[in-house]
Structure 1
Amino acid sequence: MSHDDATLRPEFLPGPPERPTGPAILRGLRRRCPNCGEAGLFEGYLKLNGSCTACGEDLSHARADDGPAYLSILLTAKVMGTLQLFVYEMFQPGPWVMAGTFSIGVVAMALYLLPRFKGMIVGIQWAKRMHGF
């Protein structure tokens, strides 16, 4: 194969220009469109809009799957587990007080983080042109 033949193969052709990953991640964390940052990313709590109402970017290709749930559980468990140990060592509250307060805290933190992590993953997918973006 000559040098000219190698340049015709698809893996050597220049791809589409790169998109800025950092701003896309920050927009996703704010639950905004990764392209323009203007319109909301979600139709409901976790259901993505089919397209951006401001810039028209097609968002139907995004597939976050279990990533947001995994990240939410990971961060919530780390933060709340550490906080629980600290509170117990410092104040030694009763078991029902610990169970009640930390159960509410864990649920609240996980529900708060879940749409933000989904937005972040959609932002990464958009920036890296994954799943048809």
Structure 2
Amino acid sequence: MFDGIVQFADKCRACGLDYTRFNVGDGPAAFLTLIIGAVLVGLALWLEVAMAPPFWVHMLLWIPLTVLAVLAGLRIAKAALLIAEYRNKAGEAGTVPAAPDEAP
């Protein structure tokens, strides 16, 4: 499904479904970043109040965790949105969507 870390391939390797028909966009990235950011800031504040570690511990812990959580979450969120668009035959406003097995 993916050609890079979070970039979709042009077509499915198994069934040939054209992924370029779907407009996933950056919607999942905005929501995911806000949600993960809120959770991780809350955890960082809790750690600071509970144990008061040095600043380098926060950097060593939270920067890689944030990057991994966002990248893994983006793959899941983008795939889920593409699946939802496929199942609901979503398309651009004002156009008639093609059937899933028809070529555009």
What TM-score do the two structures reach when normalised by structure 1?
Answer: 0.60
Matched, 1:56 2:10: no
Give how far 1:51 is off.
Answer: 2.7
Q: CA deviation at 1:111?
A: 1.6
Check the 8 A contact 1:67/1:121 in 2, yes or no: no
Amino acid aligned to 1:44: G
Are the counterparts in 2 of residues 71 and 117 from structure 1 also a CA contact under 8 Å? no
Equivalent of 2:26, from 33, 50, 66? 66
Q: Larger relative contact order (C-alpha < 8 A, sep ≥ 6)? A: 1
TM superposition shift of 1:54: 2.2
Q: Secondary structure at the match of 1:60?
A: helix
TM-score, scaled to structure 2: 0.74
Q: Does 1:88 align with 2:48?
A: yes
Question: Which letter does structure 2 place at the counterpart of 1:113?
Answer: G
Sequence identity (%): 24
Cα distance in structure 2, aligned partners of 1:86 and 1:63: 38
Q: Check whether the contact 2:9–2:19 (CA below 8 A) recurs between aligned residues.
A: yes
Q: CA RMSD in A?
A: 1.8
Structure 2 equivalent of residue 42 of structure 1: 2
**1:122 corresponds to which letter in structure 2?**
L
Letter in 2 for 1:79: V
CA distance in 2, matches of 1:69, 1:75: 10
Which letter does structure 2 place at the counterpart of 1:105? L
Counterpart code for 1:89 = V
Give the corresponding residue for 2:37. 77
Determine the C-alpha separation between the residues in 2 that align with 1:46 and 1:98: 26
Quote the Cα distance in structure 1 between the aligned partners of 2:69 and 2:90: 29
Aligned-partner Cα distance in 1 for 2:55–2:41: 15
Over alpha carbons, which structure has the higher Rg? 1
